[in-house]
Structures are given as C-alpha cells and as structure tokens.
Amino acid sequence: MKANEIKKGLVINQDNKKILIKKVIVQSPSSRSGSTLYKITGSDISSGQKFERRYKGDEVITPVEVSRHSVQLLFHDNDSYTFMDSENYEQFMLSTDALIDEAVFLYDGLEGLIALSSEGELLGVELPTTMALEISECAPAMKAASSSARTKPATLTTGLVIQVPEYLTPGEIIKINTETREFISRA
C-alpha cells in the first residue's frame, strides 16, 4: 500500500508497532519538482504513545488487518471503560489512557461506537462522525440574537466545551462533528 492511500482510522505497521491513524494532513508541493507529503498523526496502540511522521506519496506502508464491530459503552470508572459487543454480548475493557481523545464524547450507555480489533486484541474505539449531546450550561439566550453572527462557549453534559450560536439555551440537544469538535445544528 502506498502512503497516498492512507485514511483516518486505518492501522499500519511501523517499526513493528501498530499505529492507529487519527489524522492525515496532505501538504502539496510548492514547486513542480517537489512531491506531495502526507503528515500522519496517530498513536501506538499497545503503549498509547503519540506518533507523528511524514511520508512521501510513493512510500510503501504495511497495513494491519483490522476487524470492526459495533459496541456499546456500558460504564466507565477512574481507570477504564467497559464496552459490550452488540452482536455476541461479550464484554471488554480499555484503559482511560487509550481513549484520551474520545473521552469527551463518551457517556454511560452510549451506542453506535465501532471497536477496532486485530488478532483478538482490542485496539481502540471509533466515534461516529456526528453525535447529539445536551448543553448543560452556557450564557442565557439573547432575544435578538441572529442565527449566524456571534457565538458563546457552552459546556456539554460530557464536559466538552464548544462554541455555539447565541440563541441556544441550557437543556437543548445539539449535533456536533466529532472530528472538528464544532457545532453543526440543533438535533
């Protein structure tokens, strides 16, 4: 597989480590002779260490065969999250350290998550692209607020703080893009 085929969510083998790719940034060349670079950001699945590297478009990369299956978050405590497979009801745990980026979207009973596993080992959890969450606190709504002009910070029930339009009030459920962590619309 060549580096120009890399996508978010893919698992690659780099220096005998399984790397889960979380972000791909394409850097186009500024001159004709330059080659396109692919900046990969991810994490080592076994140790949780951050991984960052640039690849040229024609570099060869070894992908790892990964199976995806639907799971539900049952509950979490201080050091781990417990998930249940939606098909066979098997339960498994992931450490809090392995889910640092996803933790601000997770709450007990959450469905629609995808678990990534390879060779019987649980690698991580993939969030849906959009999620509906409730606003727990924000500044009061303004009567004359326009729908697009200004924003205010709002804290969601999971603890995530994002910018929302001024007309929203606490208790409303909104849609959020999990990749950019931005407000999309009311749910």
Q: Look up the CATH number of the domain holding residue 25.
A: 2.30.30.30
Q: Cα(97)–Cα(80) distance, rounded to whole angstroms?
A: 8
pLDDT of residue 143: 67
113-118 and 121-126: which strand pairing? Answer: antiparallel
136-169: b or e for each residue (b if 16 or more CB lie within 10 Å)?
A: eebeeeeeeeeeeeeebebebebebebebbbbbe
Instruction: Examine the domain organization and report whether 173 and 134 are in the same domain.
Output: yes
Maximum separation of any 2 CA atoms in the chain, in Å: 58
Instruction: Examine the domain organization and report whether 72 and 121 are in the same domain.
Output: yes
pLDDT of residue 137: 92
Q: Are 59 and 39 in contact (CB under 8 A)?
A: no
Q: What is the pTM of this model?
A: 0.73
More confident residue, 96 or 163: 163
pLDDT of residue 4: 86
Q: Cα(157)–Cα(170) distance, rounded to whole angstroms?
A: 10
pLDDT of residue 144: 64
Q: Cα(70)–Cα(128) distance, rounded to whole angstroms?
A: 11
What mean pLDDT value characterizes the chain? Answer: 86
pLDDT tens, position by position, 22-53: 888 998 877 776 788 899 988 887 777 888 99
127 DSSP assignment: -
pLDDT tens, position by position, 100-128: 778 899 988 999 899 888 777 777 788 88
Instruction: Examine the domain organization and report whether 56 and 71 are in the same domain.
Output: no
Element holding 134 (H helix, E strand): strand 130-138
Residue with tokens 């996803």: 102
97 DSSP assignment: G
Instruction: Examine the domain organization and report whether 116 and 146 are in the same domain.
Output: no
Residues 6+ apart with CB under 8 A from 175: 130, 131, 132, 183, 184, 185, 186, 187
What range defines the domain where residue 21 resides?
3-63
**12, 40, 63: which is the final residue of a domain?**
63
Q: Look up the CATH number of the domain holding residue 81.
A: 2.40.50.140
Instruction: Examine the domain organization and report whether 75 and 55 are in the same domain.
Output: no
More confident residue, 99 or 82: 82
The total number of structural domains that make up the chain: 3
pLDDT of residue 20: 83
pLDDT of residue 145: 56
- 3-state DSSP assignment of residue 147: coil
pLDDT tens, position by position, 53-79: 999 888 899 998 888 889 999 998 888
State which amino acid sits at residue 120.
Answer: G
**104, 126, 148: which is the final residue of a domain?**
126
Instruction: Examine the domain organization and report whether 33 and 12 are in the same domain.
Output: yes
Instruction: Examine the domain organization and report whether 141 and 162 are in the same domain.
Output: yes
